[in-house]
Chains A and B, each alone.
Chain A
Amino acid sequence: MLQSVVMTAANAHRAIDAVWRIESPRLIAGLTRIVRDVGVAEDLAQDALVVALEQWPESGVPDNPGAWLMATAKHRAIDRLRRDERLDRKYEELGREALVHQESATDDVGDDLLRLIFISCHPILAPEARVALTLRLISSLTTEEIARAFLVPVPTIAQRIVRAKRTLTEAHVPFEVPGGPELEARLASVLQVIYLVFNEGYSATAGDDLLRAGLCEDALRLGRILAGLAPKEPEVHGLVALMEIQASRSRARVGPSGEIVLLLDQDRGRWDPLLIHRGLAALERAEELGGALGPYALQAAIAACHARSRAAADTDWARIVALYDALAQIAPSPVVALNRCVAVAMAFGPAAGLELVDGLASEPSLKGYHLLPSVRGDLLEKLGRAEEARAEFERAASLTQNARERELLLRRAAACSR
């Protein structure tokens, strides 16, 4: 009997937690619009959650939990105001709103959320602070969950979030969707945060906490939310396309004992057709909006070339080379150049690829980058220069931080000696 009561309480908590995760981003966004301070807004939202945790297990979840939480948060604001007798203008304003029972206009909810996303990805914050704050405010992850996912101590993340909120307050960052020429740079920052989260999840290995791999889902969800809020921005769809297509391969990229399986060796039957379909649709949307040449759309287009090929041998490598050419023009980087070498080798033979790779050898930013010797080793192996290939694979293995990758590279080195 007692056990069932305890169980019920635990169930109620989990149900409330689920409602909270759905409602809190919009709640915090709506409150931020009123108080113009993310930190205060989050405190008020947390206050409302505490009341919900007290009342809902008894009374049940209300019919419209979002409106309930908003009303409660506003009342808590008045309580605080009276208790503290602080004539803080923010609370005063909030109190006035609550008194006239002005419901937050539902049409604005989406806009508020978009504004909140722009604030939490604001360039005055360090990239890791943007990531932590976004996961906390928009993805509703707890500080503990973020810390576990990023393999960082909890106090580090807690401090990052506190400092980020303080920085935003001190800088009086306006609660608005940036317009005009600022929009592009600010949007780029938002997209970068989402892609950082995705890549962190994508680099999770078998032994890691499941929360870590879950970052891919969090990023995808963020991307899909953003696509809903800013449907006319082609690069948003480009990023969503890139993530959907990459995520479609997640089952195929790990072998039975946790080893990495390279793209061209993957069993394409294990790729997720639903995510491929969604990714291709998002890419089409980006292209329709005139964004075919955006950096994310181009990367998505490259990923799409693979997704459309039933077998690795069917890959349209000439098209991939052309896409890398375009990418190298608008977003040049040594890593893009290196990837282009691989595509050239696949399209026009390993000798052509090797010649290009050797041209990159002096690139300072690739010094210490394990994929440079790894690619070189691969091309040398294809050219039958086994001894040189082995040395390159070993060098690459000594440079990577990822245990699974090292394993793969050492396996390839050993294969060269046979």
Chain B
Amino acid sequence: MRFLLYTTGDNAQPSAPPAPPSQQMMDELAKLTEETTRSGVLLATGGLAQAITRVRNSAGKLSVTDGPFTETKELTGGFALIEAKSREEAIEWAKRFRKIVGDGDSIVQEVYGG
């Protein structure tokens, strides 16, 4: 089973600009990435730029709007595409990630057709 793990944030109310991640956090993240790679779990991963653009089709009319958007939580930070045996396993990896990066939300969703 394939799962997309990503972090969401509230771009509408950026509190203080996020503190740059500590060296310790970076080290732990690198370790986790290595662990997921070595466990044969990680298929793809990437960080996401802050600039965000929405392309919308409304009754056949296309519009393009630059963010940030106040009404939705946005995908921020980064994502990981993993291959796990079960949803619980995917959740466990998300927990391990969350423990390292601290407060905030990580979302786990199964990817069909993989």
| A interface residues with partner B (beta carbon < 8 Å) | 14-15, 17-19, 21-22, 63, 110, 214, 217, 220-225, 228-229, 251, 272, 274, 278
Complex-state Cα separation, A14 to B86, whole angstroms: 9
Counting residue pairs across A and B whose Cβ atoms lie within 8 Å, the total is: 51
- Cβ of B91: which chain A residues have Cβ within 8 Å of it? 15, 18
Given A110-B38, A272-B114, also A278-B92 (CB < 8 A): no
Q: How many residues of B contact A (CB 8 A)?
A: 20
Contact of B89 among A22, A63, A110, A214 (CB under 8 A): A22
- A-side binding surface: helix, strand, loop or mixed? helix
Contact of B40 among A18, A110, A221 (CB under 8 A): A221
- Cβ of A225: which chain B residues have Cβ within 8 Å of it? 38-40
Whether B99 is near chain A, meaning CB under 8 Å from some CB there, is: yes
- Cβ of B92: which chain A residues have Cβ within 8 Å of it? 15, 18-19, 22
Whether B85 is near chain A, meaning CB under 8 Å from some CB there, is: yes
Complex-state Cα separation, A101 to B40, whole angstroms: 30
Question: Residue on A with the closest CB to B92?
Answer: A18
| B interface residues with partner A (beta carbon < 8 Å) | 34, 37-41, 43-44, 81, 83, 85-86, 88-89, 91-93, 99, 113-114
Complex-state Cα separation, A224 to B41, whole angstroms: 8
- Cβ of B83: which chain A residues have Cβ within 8 Å of it? 217, 220-221
Given A274-B43, A278-B43, also A18-B86 (CB < 8 A): yes
Complex-state Cα separation, A286 to B38, whole angstroms: 18
Complex-state Cα separation, A221 to B1, whole angstroms: 12
Given A22-B39, A225-B38, also A274-B44 (CB < 8 A): yes
Q: Which 6 pairs across A and B sit closest by C-beta, in order of nearness? A: A224-B40, A221-B40, A18-B88, A228-B38, A18-B89, A225-B40
- Cβ of A272: which chain B residues have Cβ within 8 Å of it? 114
Q: Assess whether A251 is in contact with B113, with CB atoms less than 8 Å apart.
A: yes
